[in-house]
Amino acid sequence: MRTDIGSMYEQEIAEDLTALGEPPYRTAQVYRWVQSGVKSFDEMTNISKKLREKLVQNYQLFSATIEKKLVSAYDDTRKYLLSFPDGEAVESVLMKYHHGYTSCISTQVGCKMGCTFCATGQSGFARQLTASEMLSQLRTEQEDANIRISNIVLMGMGEPLDNYDNVIRFLHLVSHDKGMNIGMRHISLSTCGVVPKIYELADLKLQLTLSVSLHAPNDQIRSRTMPINRRYGMQELLKACRYYIAQTGRRISFEYAMIDGVNDSPANAAELSRQLKGMLCHINLIPVNRVGGTGYHKSKQDRIRQFIAVLEKAGLTATVRRTLGSDINASCGQLRRAHQKEERT
Ligand code: SAH
Ligand code: SF4
């Protein structure tokens, strides 16, 4: 089988090309071409035909195909369903903010974690994405919208820390100065709380923002909506978060989906305050997006205001996340789910 060259580090390409008898200066050229997103080796115009032939024999270049695209009439948010050569598809969302474009990409096809409020969690797990497949989501969006992406959030389909090695590889490649050159400070990784991997990530001391999907003030509520909590409880998770802050010096962002009658009472807010007191963190409240069949509803506005007031009184900072693309159901997992249903009927 030919190797996925788009997922290889420069050093790995160097080792391979040396073994193929190529001089070292070729490596940087080939690496730059690959990371610029060429779709065929023939596009590498300053590489000899002989070497291009060798590359074709040994390596493969992957790109994504746009299966569906929804553009919001309100704010130009674009939601894509992108497929790969094996037919699997993931969602990515491109959002425009005042400081530039942010892309929300997927890290797995589906997810194993089974959170009860999440469309991706409800549709099961198909396979891991490679680093080059994560990169290709960004390139496809850039090409389609004719823009440059400046920020990335790993908040699409999948649990990034359940695909740890490929995600770390992606982070190094996307931030590399001969590649897309998007710095770690412009990247957020969101996790449901795979505790051992939070420790591993902390030890790498990358300057990325860690978002932790908390969604509950205690184990009882959290275990009901997020099965991962039965494996790694909240105290264990918060301990790992404190370690992450100590190692990296970076503030953690806690995601909290406000679900009517489930986790949104003033008492829930008070309990959450006690759990997070003194931590270098910010809380992002997200009125839960309705996913068919889950029976969950968004919290009422005044409930959210009350919740924030309790947190602020305890010295914590909380904001309600601005919703972009509300007319196109921009939260991830829903487009693929609809697509799967269409295919079945
Ligand atoms: N697996 C990772 C990242 C992908 S999910 C994680 O769980 O963190 C991205 C974010 O969307 C998470 O915070 C997740 O909890 C949240 N989310 C999932 N379904 C949602 C819904 N129906 N409404 C609001 N937020 C949701
Ligand atoms: Fe997976 Fe995140 Fe959805 Fe949970 S919320 S099922 S971890 S994608």
- Domain residue ranges in the chain: 3-60, 65-344
- Domain 3-60 indexed as CATH 1.10.150.530: yes
91 is catalytic: yes
Q: Is 47 in the pocket of ligand 2 (CB under 6 A)?
A: no
Question: pTM here?
Answer: 0.94
Q: Mean pLDDT in the chain?
A: 93
Q: Which of 91, 133, 141, 255 is catalytic?
A: 91
CA-nearest residue for atom 15, ligand 1, is 213
Substitution site in 213, 214, 215 for ligand 1 pocket (most atoms within 8 Å of beta carbon): 213
Joined tokens for residue 11? 């050093």
The number of the ligand 2 atom at minimal distance from the alpha carbon of 108 is: 8
**Residue among 24, 22, 72 nearest 52 (CA):** 22
Query: 46-100 pLDDT, tens per residue?
Result: 999 999 999 999 999 999 999 999 998 888 899 999 999 999 999 999 999 888 9
Cα–Cα nearest to 134, from 105, 169, 98: 105
CATH number of 65-344: 3.20.20.70
φ and ψ of 155, to 5 deg: -135, 20
pLDDT tier at 322 (50, 70, 90 boundaries)? Answer: low
Residue 2: Cβ within 10 Å count: 11
pLDDT tens, position by position, 156-181: 999 999 999 999 999 999 999 999 99
254 lines ligand 1 (CB under 6 A): no
Partnered with residue 114 across adjacent β-strands are none
> How is residue 322 annotated by DSSP?
P
Helix (H) or strand (E) holding 148: none
pLDDT in the model for residue 344? 44
User: Does residue 157 contact residue 333 with C-beta atoms inside 8 Å?
Assistant: yes
Q: How far apart are CA 314 and CA 272, in angstroms?
A: 10
Mean pLDDT of 102-110: 97
Ligand 2 atom nearest to CA at 332: 8
